[in-house]
Amino acid sequence: MITRRHFLKLSAGAIVLPSLTLAMEGLDWRKTLFVMDTWFWQAPPDLDVPAQVRLVKKIGYRGMALSWGQKHFERLDALRENGLKTPGCFITVDIDGGYPKHLSACVQLLKGTPGRVWLALTSKAHTKSAQTGDAAALEIIKACAEECKSGGVAGLALYPRVGFWMEQMDHAIRLARTAGRPEVGVQFKQYHRMVADRGQNLGETLQSALPFLKSASINGSNENPPSILPLSEGSYDVAPILKALSDLNFHGPISHQGYSIKAKLPERLAAAKQRWDNLRKRVSG
């Protein structure tokens, strides 16, 4: 639920922030990097939300991606107080239940920010990737797109996730193409692509996604099995992903996934940022 206090804050943010177009310019991955709040889901008590955001800012990240139900209001407040941005808020919706109230509340949360709804879709009635669920999913997607449009929110990015009904990139692209609305895009997710799509055909995948590609997330990883590590750790080379995005002239935000990362967070966040800076120079060079 959105309290009156937060409603007033969201309304005020929508008034004082610059236009969405100008705000989006600050999300370009070639200039900045975001972290996902998943880095801090297992943070020690002394690293509370305000301390998390101060740490992110000190290291040089541009802001933080949020997750619905994970102190999203508190984190957004702290980001605003520190002059940082959010590229989006991850949220899970069951397509079997119609348009849910928490999805509408997520759109309201993002008013006055450049962030998008990162929409992951589940179902118990339909098997994974089954087209039988597309009609129900598209009703939700289009309703969310309309709410974003009327509320001045950038839109939504379909978020493929391993084990969910929508778990593969080609499925998300199919839904975005069928929706046929500028507010509806997709998110490229390195880890879930490595697992669900077996990491195959990177160039073809990104080329196919490009008309709808709004954002991406990356992380360090081992090759087999895939894992989620800081960029400074693991044997997997992320550079080809960044090179492919650069060649495709992609300008959206990139966020560093942090799910399951714990212990020595300040040091590992700093090392990941240093690795990112080196990767960016390597790609641009």
SS3 content of the chain, % helix, strand, coil (to 5): 45, 15, 40
Domain boundaries, the chain: 28-284
pLDDT at 284: 77
Pick the CATH number of 28-284 from 3.20.20.150, 1.10.150.110, 1.10.645.10, 2.170.150.70: 3.20.20.150
pLDDT > 70: what percent of the chain?
A: 89
pLDDT at 147: 98
Mean pLDDT over 20-28 rounds to 64
Structure tokens at 23: 């705000």
- What pTM value is reported for the model? 0.91
pLDDT tens digits, residue range 56-91? Answer: 999 999 999 999 999 999 999 999 999 999 999 999
pLDDT tens digits, residue range 25-48? Answer: 689 999 999 999 999 999 999 999
